[in-house]
Structure 1
Amino acid sequence: MARLPNFLTILRIVLVPVFVALFYWGGPARYLGATAVFTLAALTDWADGFLARRYQGVSPFGAFLDPVADKLMVATALVLITAAGEMPALLAGVLTSIIVGREITVSALREWMAEIGQRKKVAVSWLGKGKAVMQMLSIIFLLYAQPIGWFPTGDVGIVLLVVAAAMTLWSMLAYLRAAWPSLSGSAGSALDSDHHRR
């Protein structure tokens, strides 16, 4: 049971090419298949975290790979949706840039804070978890895209993605604010350290 969380994390990564293939297949494979695969990935994201905590199966490998798997699936889905013209081009480009750019920024921030022993200051917060849920829901609606009776699935997906992008910026600013004392206090010495060789 302790290895199950890592298995679910790896499964999410394996599902990425399956998701891409179904998306480009089109038709029912797109709005049923790709949506189902993404939904499964979102559920495994919740499940592996729950199981890791429940059975104390958190491992260094899992802690490293879990956020990679999450960001890989979300970024892939957003790029495909943007390229397919699911939303107005400008809006899609801005929202995708905000979400993907935030993930890159916060990942780099957490890596740097870990190197100076301050990783807990930028641990995942309720706001970060909330924006992740909103992103997942918005992408599921945008992938399905087919109206369900009177319910405008695609339009609701766009609205939810706008909300997710706003929460994304909010959470990024919150992490930067929490890290700012460390960032500003070590700015002078950091330039000369090997933390910034890249």
Structure 2
Amino acid sequence: MPLTIPNLLTLLRVVLIPVFLASFFAPTEHRYLIAAFIFWFAAGTDILDGYLARKLNQSTKFGAFLDPVADKVMVCGALVLLSHDYQSVWVTVPAIVMISREIIISALREWMAELGKRGIVAVSIWGKIKTAAQMLAIIALLSRYNETVINIGFGLLYIATALTISSMISYLWAASASIKEQDQEI
């Protein structure tokens, strides 16, 4: 494992996952704000590590593997926490949709990579917009700062959910010819 700056940032994000989870349940008055800050910081390292990997020409296979894993574990953990904390169908259903999409698209990307067609399901602009809306929604909902911030968080959560469904359909559609091709070989 090459210890490049982008890989170190990704490893930091992995280390922040249990810190984030522990802060959410810490018996302190500001636990929500602390958890939101840690999540925000981790999201920032995700943006920074990708930028630095390209800028410094330090992309590695290890980083390409670990970066999306760290992102998905952090996001899925946050969505589970929000579902637990809000105990509302209005949070739980979007969380299930988003987590399910992550599993489906990860499996699809792995399968396409095995077929030598990973580029078919490469991250699109809609996937990036979905991620931005999702991260902002999670930060707002985690913070519980005030009613306005929470309402903005809910709005962003529903936008992220719509983009989640849309981008999933887009990726599945893009891979459909390869899927049909594989089915004919069986």
Same fold by TM-score greater than 0.5: yes
- Structure 2 residue 155 is the aligned partner of structure 1 residue 159: yes
Residues 28-67 of structure 1: pairs in structure 2 closer than 5 A? 28-67=29-68
Specify the code of the residue in structure 2 equivalent to 1:142.
L
Deviations 1:85-118 (A, max 9, x none): 2xx6212221011000000000000000000100
Displacement, 1:32? 2.2
Gaps in structure 1 of 5+ consecutive residues:
192-198
Per the TM alignment, residue 28 of structure 1 is displaced from its structure 2 partner at its CA by 3.9
Residue in 2 that maps onto 1:174? 170
Match of 1:120 in 2: 119
Identity %: 46
Question: What code does the residue aligned with 1:146 have?
Answer: Y
4+ runs of 1 displaced by more than 6 Å? none
Correspondences of 1:42-121 after superposition (within 5 Å): 42-85=43-86, 89-121=88-120
Q: Which runs of 5+ in 2 are unaligned?
A: none
Determine if contact 2:20/2:39 at 8 Å carries over to the other structure.
Answer: yes
Task: Spell out, residue by residue over 1:133-162, the C-alpha distance to the aligned partner (whole angstroms, 9 max, x if none).
Answer: 001000010011122xxx611111011101
8 Å contact 2:33–2:144 — kept in the other structure? no
Amino acid at match of 1:165: T
One-letter code aligned to 1:130:
I
| Count of aligned pairs between the two proteins | 185
CA contact under 8 A between 2:33 and 2:145: conserved in structure 1? no
TM-score (normalizing by structure 2): 0.95
Matches of 1:43 and 1:146, distance apart in 2: 20
Which residue type is aligned with residue 183 of structure 1?
Answer: I
Question: Which segment drifts farther, 68-77 or 88-97?
Answer: 88-97
* 8 Å CA contact 2:101, 2:164 repeated in 1: yes
> Does the aligned pair in 1 maintain the 2:79–2:95 contact within 8 Å?
yes
CA contact (8 A) 1:22 1:29 kept: no
Distance 1:37 1:26 in 2: 16
Tell whether 2:175 aligns with 1:185.
Answer: no
- 1:30 and 1:143 in contact (8 A); partners too: no
1:2: how far off?
7.2
TM-score, structure 1 as length reference: 0.89
1:29 to partner: Cα distance: 3.6
Offset of residue 171 of structure 1: 0.4
Shift of residue 27, structure 1, vs aligned partner: 4.2
| Alpha-carbon distance in structure 1 between the residues aligned to 2:161 and 2:39 | 19
Counterparts of 2:29 and 2:8, CA distance in 1: 28
